Amino acid sequence: MNIKNKQDLEAYFQKLIVPTKQYRQPDNGRLKLGTSAAHYDSDQAQIEGFLRTLWAVGPMAGNGDYDLKDFRYYINAITHSTDPDDKNYWGEVHDFDQLIVEMAALAVTLIETKAVFWDQLNPQEQDNLYNWLAQVNSIKVHSNNWRFFRILVNVAFIKLGRPFDQQHLTDDLELINSCYLKDGWYFDGNPQQMDYYIPWAFHYYGLLYAHYMKDEDPLNSGLFVERAKKFAQSFQYWFDDNGAGVPYGRSLTYRFAEGAFWSACVFTNVEVLTWSQIKYILLNHFSYWQAQPIQKNDGILSIGYGYENLYMSEQYNSPGSPYWGFKAFILLAVAEDHPFWKSTPQNPKRQNKLLIEPARMLLTNVDGQNVQLFPVGQWTAQNHAAEKYSKFVYSSRFGFSVTKGNLGLDQGAFDNCLAVAERGTEHYFSKEINLADEVTENYTQQTWSPFPKTIITSTIIPLGDWHVRVHEINTARSIEIADGGFSNKTFNGHADDYQLDDIQGGAAFTSKIGTIETINLYGFNQVHAIFSEANTNLIFPNSLYLAAIQSCAPGKHLLISAQFGGVNPANQVPTVSITDNQIIVNYQEQQVNLSKKIL
């Protein structure tokens, strides 16, 4: 059932929050929501599980939209857990500590619930709570979006009339501003990383700062609002008309936090698009997630994306981590008479293709059915970085896969990337860090090396639901090549249970999700269906992808494939012509001319 109004969204929130109550402990700010581990200890993981629910509960309680009797549980748990003499004390916070992250939800809660929470505490309880949070001003904090956690704590101190650290506030804001690029885009401390942390962290916290500090700091507040308005113009392209955001980058277990930026805009009353357009994107997004099997049997949010899946997780994902997505529920603290709730949803008019220059990516959003994101130059030294940042394309409809093992094309799950192995081995490698790259309005181009003595330049040309890949290869080794296309949903990994459609030059496969096609335009030998290992694709537990295959002797080679992902089978195919110096790609009325680089 689609989420159409505030009552529908409240019902979904209740479906998610109620199961956490079975894990409550009296006077204890901890929730033990599972048995898997993160890089921090189990105690901090339990504190995280408790505090992350405050992203929704705190603002809702402050606005009278949360049961204040139930909110007493939170007040009691927090006052006991910030008392250094209490057995349930949360403890000391150290440099770069995970608890720095969790302080932000508590800080916002204190601001939003001052009358019903802070003002009701006795002086000792206030001192304990203040002193526990104030530890953040005497420890080291990562030089990225984490600085906003300390910013929000100091903003809370200002609003509570408590001493705050002006020097840290100034320095942290300066650091955040140093990460700004243009057109609303930041980088997250790493110049090669532009992902969902820009909307759900930089802009989300920036809007909260502007909301709380517009009088005390009009300069930075104005900057954060203006940047959010610019950012929305391109970020709207990340969502298809089914409500799905394009899965890309790390921390995707936070799921509907993908839409938290839009919720923050409503909460802070910043109309970055029309309210009707924001409502269309945001409620569609919640509707999409409501239909996904993302809760475990006990109702707790699982680690994973479209289903429970630890393979895709990061080292900082504990059983309570998915509740970071509750940031999106800040929308429920917005009164029902707000123009957002009164508006009629309206699909924004979006062009078919968009170059986001500061983020170094192209997006296509043809007919609103399959957002395709083509990035270049993105990289971080974190789990599954090659899969989460360095594939040729990412899809809102077909997702992407993470590698489960390093033997063979099925364990590697090499959808939407070129997999390369030395002949005689089953150890395939895909693109990681680029040696050089370029993005234009017509294509992305990346030069890379899977291993020594092999250099590849891959040029990717988006053409609606199609895209063409031109691979120029110079190798001193005998190698095996597999150019994987989009994944598609299956119900098991048994090849005999499925029938491929033969098409000229390649193959197609259709499921209820849609159709994928892979065609050899030049140089490939054949197209195979690869049944990936279970639980590798982020959206489908079982999946296959089509791959164009070729063996290459030492020397220079040109390989060109066309890859399709759409709702219905394609009715027209791109073509290619080759001269001594140029490669010309044609599709419908589009033509792209490429100069050969390696050959």
- CB half-sphere exposure, 373, CA atoms < 13 A: 34
> Which residue carries 């600085």 as its tokens?
147
**Top CATH class, 6-342:** mainly alpha
Find, among 143, 71, 78, the residue nearest to 106 by Cα: 78
For residue range 361-374, what is the model confidence (pLDDT) as tens digits?
Answer: 999 988 899 999 99
Residue 298 confidence class, pLDDT cut points 50, 70, 90: very high
DSSP, collapsed to helix, strand or coil, labels residue 450 as coil
d(CA 402, CA 385): 9
Residue 123 confidence class, pLDDT cut points 50, 70, 90: very high
CA 187 to chain centre: 14
Range(s) within the chain of domains with CATH label 2.70.98.70: 356-595
Contact 107, 155 (CB under 8 A): yes
d(CA 472, CA 598): 6
What's the 3-state SS for 424-446?
CCCCCECCCCCCEEEECCCCEEE
Residue 426: CB atoms within 10 Å: 14
d(CA 78, CA 72): 10
Please state, in angstroms and as integers, the Cα–Cα distance from residue 263 to each residue in 8, 232, 278, following that order.
15, 12, 9
**What's the average model confidence in pLDDT over 431-443?**
97
CA 53 to chain centre: 19
For residue range 512-525, what is the model confidence (pLDDT) as tens digits?
Answer: 999 999 999 999 99
Q: Is 586 exposed, middle or buried (0-12, 13-18, 19+ CB in 10 A)?
A: middle
List the structure tokens of 87: 């057995």
The DSSP call for residue 568 is: S
Q: If you average pLDDT over every residue of the chain, what do you get?
A: 97
Contact 460, 443 (CB under 8 A): yes
Domain spanning 356-595: CATH 2.70.98.70: yes
Q: Residue 469: what are its φ and ψ, rounded to 5°?
A: -115, 125
Please state, in angstroms and as integers, the Cα–Cα distance from residue 381 to each residue in 219, 404, 417, following that order.
35, 18, 19
List the structure tokens of 331: 């929308």
**What's the average model confidence in pLDDT over 548-574?**
96
d(CA 454, CA 598): 11
d(CA 395, CA 487): 9
For residue range 198-223, what is the model confidence (pLDDT) as tens digits?
Answer: 999 999 999 999 999 999 999 999 99
d(CA 418, CA 446): 12
Range(s) within the chain of domains with CATH label 1.50.10.10: 6-342
Please state, in angstroms and as integers, the Cα–Cα distance from residue 582 to each residue in 179, 456, 579, 587, following that order.
39, 17, 5, 17
Share of the chain above pLDDT 90, in %: 96
Contact 532, 543 (CB under 8 A): yes
- CB half-sphere exposure, 538, CA atoms < 13 A: 31
DSSP, collapsed to helix, strand or coil, labels residue 296 as coil
**What's the average model confidence in pLDDT over 73-84?**
98
Asked if residue 23 has pLDDT above 90, the reply is: yes
- CB half-sphere exposure, 96, CA atoms < 13 A: 6
Contact 531, 490 (CB under 8 A): yes
pTM, 2 dp: 0.97
Residue 224 confidence class, pLDDT cut points 50, 70, 90: very high
Residue 382 confidence class, pLDDT cut points 50, 70, 90: confident
Q: Residue 416: what are its φ and ψ, rounded to 5°?
A: 55, 35
For residue range 385-418, what is the model confidence (pLDDT) as tens digits?
Answer: 999 999 999 999 999 999 999 899 999 999 999 9
d(CA 315, CA 374): 26
What does the buried/exposed string (b/e) look like for 534-553 if buried means 16 or more CB atoms within 10 Å of the residue's CB? Answer: bbbbbbbbbbbbbbbbbebe
Beta bridge partners of 439: 444
pLDDT of residue 599: 73
